[in-house]
Homo-oligomer: A and B are copies of this chain.
């Protein structure tokens, strides 16, 4: 296998995969949240109390855009923020009770959606699939 074939394999994957799993659709799994919003909620759950800057270390969004999304999520009682006492430029962001529930719902839906995508495969095949994904993760992000 030559370098050009390697690149073509990856590009072919890119073309097919992203659309097939619906990551380009405007509303994430018909939840009323966008993919980006759901991603933000996931990160806040993972980090516990966090900050816009921290979120953006992962997502790399336009700062203004992120600020607005957070504002919206706060006004919908999904997130809260409190001014940090250590650094008064910073706001600590966390999930509200409602936010926790919503995030869990999104989490569940996302899993169900993935389960659907692999449901036609046998368990051994699903395992092979997961190994392939894990291998890619390792190669691309851990070396």
Interface residues of A (CB under 8 A from B): 1, 3-7, 9-21, 23-24, 35-36, 39, 42, 59-60, 110-111, 114-115, 117-118, 120-121, 123, 125-130, 132-137, 139-141, 143
Contact = CB atoms under 8 A, between A and B. Distances in A.
Contacts of A5: 130
Secondary structure type dominating chain A contacts: helix
Contact of A135 (B23, B114, B132, B141): B132
A135 to B, nearest CB: 5
Given A11-B111, A117-B140, 13 more contacts: A1-B127, A4-B111, A6-B118, A9-B130, A9-B134, A10-B130, A15-B39, A15-B42, A17-B136, A20-B140, A24-B24, A128-B135, A132-B135
A14 to B, nearest CB: 6
